[in-house]
Amino acid sequence: MKNTSDQNISKIKLSKFLRPLITFLISSFLLYRIYEVVFIRQQFTPDIWVRFAISGLILGGMYALIAIGYTLVYGIMFMINFAHGEVMMLGAFGGYFIFELFNFIPTPTVADPDLTFLNSQPILSIILAFVAGVTIAGLSGYFLEKIAYRPLRKAPRLILLITAIGASTALQNLAMLLFGPTRKNVINPMILERSAGWSVLVSGKPVLITYTGVFSLVLSALLMVALYLVVQKTKLGRSMRAVAQDKNTAALMGVDVDDVISKTFIISGMLAGAAGVMWDIHMGLVNHYTGFLPGIKAFTAAVMGGIGNIPGAMLGGILLGMLEAVGPAALGIDFQLKDVIAFTILILVLIVRPSGILGEKLSEEKL
């Protein structure tokens, strides 16, 4: 008997020793590789690095918005809302159709007979596009929860996860059958022309900071602040936090748990919808597959920041966007492989620090 326990003690010490060792090996390899690419090969000039960083920041803002949705839902229901990326995709389609519609409505003037509503009222168009995208995404979040997840409140988590996969597959293919598999070009209002922007000189060379990029970044920052205020200052936010801590106790204290969960889904859907319309405006392409990869990457971001932790999701999103934009260049690999980086990061985070950068905020699971 003594023998068994002694063996197991040695095993444990090994695994405790293994994690830092792996961490050390991986990070030293990565650092060496970055050093080699950046300083020895000097493939890119500083202005290109700045360009990468900026595009990463913009992308990161969108990831952060989507990641918040994952983190909110995970914190409350311990479930990966797999269909969250599809909610974002639906929001993106909402914005796309509004832009198409407004581009269809002629408002001719003397100076420009071809002028459409989209360009005669650009700000209104953008606002309405966001309203449409956010509404559609919020509603799909609401109905998703109501139809698919609510009947399974007491079911094991595996069943919820399978349902979520089913919902994701169904929504994605529904969108494909409705709107077709081809990518659609989103028409922006003139004031948000994708190639226009401010030019900034970095080490003597111009770097373009596009209007769409700044617009997305500012908007996502504003939305994140708004969400933080909602969660921290309002009654709804307080009930959300209470439900995340302990559903039963919250219910005993008079919180309508179903209602709070429902609202959480609406809020996370709305954020994803906003990210979807930003995707329209900044990226300019939308199809049924638009939401899938950003969705999974945003989940990665949420895990990276520490799941259940809202500031963590924001930080994780922005960090992931940056790493994805700068990573291929810094590691000297093909740009086709930028999608690989996010998934590799996910695996590395789970090996090195499973609780994320800022730590998980989950209620303690009952023994």
Among positions 35-94, residues that touch other proteins (CB under 8 A) are 79-80
Q: What is the DSSP string of 166-225?
A: HHHHHHHHHHHHHH-SS-EEPPPPGGG-TT-EEEEEETTEEEEEEHHHHHHHHHHHHHHH
* Two structure tokens written together for 60: 């990161």
Q: Which SS3 state, helix, strand or coil, does residue 198 take?
A: strand
Residue 123 within binding range of other proteins, rule CB under 8 A: no
Quick one: which of 34, 38, 152, 221 contacts other proteins (CB under 8 A)? 152
Pattern 93-112, other proteins, x by CB under 8 A = ----x--x------------
* Two structure tokens written together for 308: 């259940």
Part in contact with other proteins (CB under 8 A); list of ranges 28-36, 50-58, 169-177, 187-195: 169-177
Contact 88, 294 (CB under 8 A): yes
* Two structure tokens written together for 348: 């590395």
Quick one: which of 65, 296, 315, 325 contacts other proteins (CB under 8 A)? 296
Between CA 274 and CA 333 the distance in angstroms is 32
Residue 20 within binding range of other proteins, rule CB under 8 A: no
Closest CB to other proteins among 282 and 297?
Answer: 297
Residue 163 within binding range of other proteins, rule CB under 8 A: yes
Closest CB to other proteins among 46 and 151?
Answer: 151
Q: What is the DSSP string of 71-138?
A: HHHHHHHS---TTHHHHHHHHHHHHHHHHHHHHHSB---SS-TT-BHHHHSHHHHHHHHHHHHHHHHH
Residue 21 within binding range of other proteins, rule CB under 8 A: no
Closest CB to other proteins among 134 and 341?
Answer: 341
Among positions 172-201, residues that touch other proteins (CB under 8 A) are 172-174, 177-180
Residue 162 within binding range of other proteins, rule CB under 8 A: yes
Query: Considering only CA atoms, which of 147, 88, 85, 57 is closest in space to residue 280?
Result: 88
Residues forming contacts to other proteins in the complex (CB under 8 A) are 1-2, 4-5, 8-9, 12, 79-80, 97, 100, 147-148, 151-152, 155-163, 165-174, 177-180, 293, 296, 299-300, 303, 333-334, 336-337, 339-340, 342-344, 346-347, 350-351, 354, 367
